[in-house]
Structure 1
């Protein structure tokens, strides 16, 4: 497969550089991110069960970082590969999980055929996207998904506030109201399957949202 690299804008450059600078430490912490998160694992398992149905191809984790979640999805029975903006992260992912496929790329412009995937997971990977840029990401998710393909989003919830930037430990990120993010996805052609709001655990500052969406079938 050819490289998925696209020409990044300034905020993409900043995000890739910031994660590249802390990649090794981030990878160490991420390996156990799901260990004490039964609700997160349950939502991922629900996505995997839905994504295993049909015959529309593989699943992509977009913004895969060091690959721990891609490997978890593989263990749930999915034909999955990972894409990330940071070459350093991709190198770590390939080293840790040599049996899986990882590519450098920007998830708003992927070198993937229309309708080629049965599932997309964006697990805290759109949180650094400026709100005005996010519709183009959802449009790209819709393009690469087959009809009835599923999209799972993980993000920081704003808990009643509007879209709110905050000082993420790596680079500026945004907290989203669940309803607003669902509406944005609906505008791009997705219908909601389910949602979950998880309270912050010890050491976490904010609540966590999960949205499970399905690409609407095309009407003849």
Structure 2
């Protein structure tokens, strides 16, 4: 197993401790989220249109989102820090590939992926540590490949740490996340802000980006 930095190890340990409970809570969560499903459908359509390339869900947890990407016609696999989450993902979805690993060091060649989904996983990265992750997303995506981020939005304020139930986490202004991506040669395709449901605390942000194609020589 790969060695992780202390904050990644702490996050992995925290999710290991609640893996079964967490998986039960999120397994059918997309059923009541039509706006979220719409963003995922657009992401999948754009990735399919660009050609038959593999997609990764970076921070896949118990694998339900990776399976959703598969159902949308994508050749998807999942990566997560938590061995317990990966065990559940493999049990629930034995037809899919799941690996223990960090989304900051994805085990694929440069430019191999057609798409990358990070669904509420960048929220656990301390803000000063986040820029290298966007550099890694750029590395693994083919020119023209798409990146979709799901996160808790700070509703016009600065980056805010909050009391996530599992591990330390941060709410981000959508413009700041978009700017971090732009610095790594991503261009914005679209964004969606969703107000919280009755049992949710915070506004949800969704950013769809595309890695710029190489300039013609």
TM-score (norm 1): 0.97
- Alignment partners' CA distance in 2, 1:129 and 1:99: 30
Q: Does 1:144 align with 2:140?
A: yes
CA spacing shift, 1:187–1:142, aligned 2, 3 Å = same
Displacement, 1:54? 2.5
- Greater share of helix: 2
In the alignment, which residue of structure 1 is the partner of 2:157?
161
TM-score (norm 2): 0.98
Displacement, 1:6? 3.3
2:65 to 69, 77, 90: 69
Post-superposition Cα deviations, 1:64-118, rounded to whole Å, max 9, x if no partner, equal 0000000011000000000000011000000000000001100101221000000
In the alignment, which residue of structure 1 is the partner of 2:28?
32
- Alignment partners' CA distance in 1, 2:135 and 2:119: 17
Answer whether contact 1:56 1:146 (CA < 8 A) is retained. Answer: no
Answer whether contact 1:119 1:145 (CA < 8 A) is retained. Answer: yes
Partner-residue secondary structure (3-state), 1:35: helix
In the alignment, which residue of structure 1 is the partner of 2:48?
52
Post-superposition Cα deviations, 1:7-44, rounded to whole Å, max 9, x if no partner, equal 21110011000000000000001111101100000000
Q: Does 1:187 align with 2:178?
A: no
Unaligned runs of 5+ in 1: none
Taking only aligned residues, the RMSD between alpha carbons, in angstroms, comes to 0.8
- Alignment partners' CA distance in 2, 1:111 and 1:37: 31
2:87 to 76, 85, 91: 91
Post-superposition Cα deviations, 1:150-187, rounded to whole Å, max 9, x if no partner, equal 00000000001100000100011000000010001101
2:2 to 1, 6, 19: 6
Partner-residue secondary structure (3-state), 2:118: strand
Structure 1 segment 200-211 matched on structure 2, within 5 A: 200-211=196-207
Post-superposition Cα deviations, 1:36-57, rounded to whole Å, max 9, x if no partner, equal 1000000000000001023362
In the alignment, which residue of structure 2 is the partner of 1:133?
129
Deviates more, 1:55-64 or 1:116-125: 55-64
- Alignment partners' CA distance in 1, 2:67 and 2:198: 25
